[in-house]
Structure 1
């Protein structure tokens, strides 16, 4: 979800540092994602809590937590819940701790830094695991699912949330499908860099021994007038798209994309009244028998 993130090419980190500059930009994108898509995130967290039952103290795990958007969504579901928030980036974890202090929930969160492609810490026995936009980053997600199965108590719940594609912001008619062409390039890159993106997580969960109770899509579409945060979200997201797609775009497409990203230009995203936000998450609720 926060989580969702993210964050779309690198929603969360698990031991691979991007440097403070890269982490700072990614953290901003994750936080904007949570702010702009907050209603959807809360809906996902409520759905997970509905499957889990009362969230218990000290036995909830947020795996690949990023800046903690999922952690805080789960904390809002129960006054008793406490969360172990796990990520490979100390920058992200410090941002999460700052947010926890600002919200007055720092005593309900324990952060754990870990490279989840390596040896896992001992999380103890947990009742609920939330992992959002993260599992596809792992080198061996099946091994991770086996470890999660072992960590969950019998009857415990694992919630896997993945983005169903990159969020979209531009009308399809703009540039005769500019955003679609950009995303086709990014999707090709993502498939090469993250071969597990778009996997059938329901099948993977069943192969690991879980019983999948429900698979559900959570769709969001926001239209004008958009908030300032939504416009910043669009600019940050499309800016990252430009980084990935620039060398594969035509000069005309690149010029239009740059015009959209220019905060002072007449075509700026800040000025457009046809901007929108379309996003979809798919979530699986799986039980350890």
Structure 2
């Protein structure tokens, strides 16, 4: 073989192919999980569907626009807003302290914060009575010194709602603060920013999504509170009878009254869904 032939053979011989990048493989979900997920979805949605089927639709408008229903809904909205404001006043500082204080004491406080989530609401009502009742640890002194009696008043409704709703705000905001970290706060402090400036300009804006979602969950939980309110505030029409208590009162009746309870339940479901949808559509920076 001549030199020219060897060169031609060398040029014609194919070289090694370049390595191909590995293809992305989609990780599938086991089929059994789809079955269980469907069962979980049914558990959450079928009860609401049963309400829709059971409702006496011709009588729904009259039931939800009755003076009793409007009074209960208005009271629920007012007290839930007041309870949410109280939770913001107390819960934001509590969440910031828990997120920025990594000590064993903070772990104990965190467990105490979550306690209302696992307690039966009726236990919370009894605990509030023994704290703020006429013979309670604090309530007795309030009555003797200032003549203030909290149980079975609208104020008691707000306190009961705040008691059960506060953990939702604290947990959501603390999680957002921990996810955001403190590196920007450290930089701002290094540049001379004061503690309140750092909190107002950096800490809370970074945790805004958690603050908003926690506030919405707090309001929704306060709006649906029943057990602690019933024991601590009672069931007085126009004073302490919120929407859940009005539903309970109506359902304990008979015939048309139970139809009213279903209608009021649907109204409360609609209000809760609207609140959650609006919160879901909200995004930081004002973009809906």
Q: TM-score, with normalisation over the residues of structure 2?
A: 0.25
Q: TM-score, with normalisation over the residues of structure 1?
A: 0.25
Larger of the two Rg values belongs to structure: 2
Q: Which has the higher helix share?
A: 2
Structure possessing the higher relative contact order (Cα contacts under 8 Å, 6 or more residues apart): 2
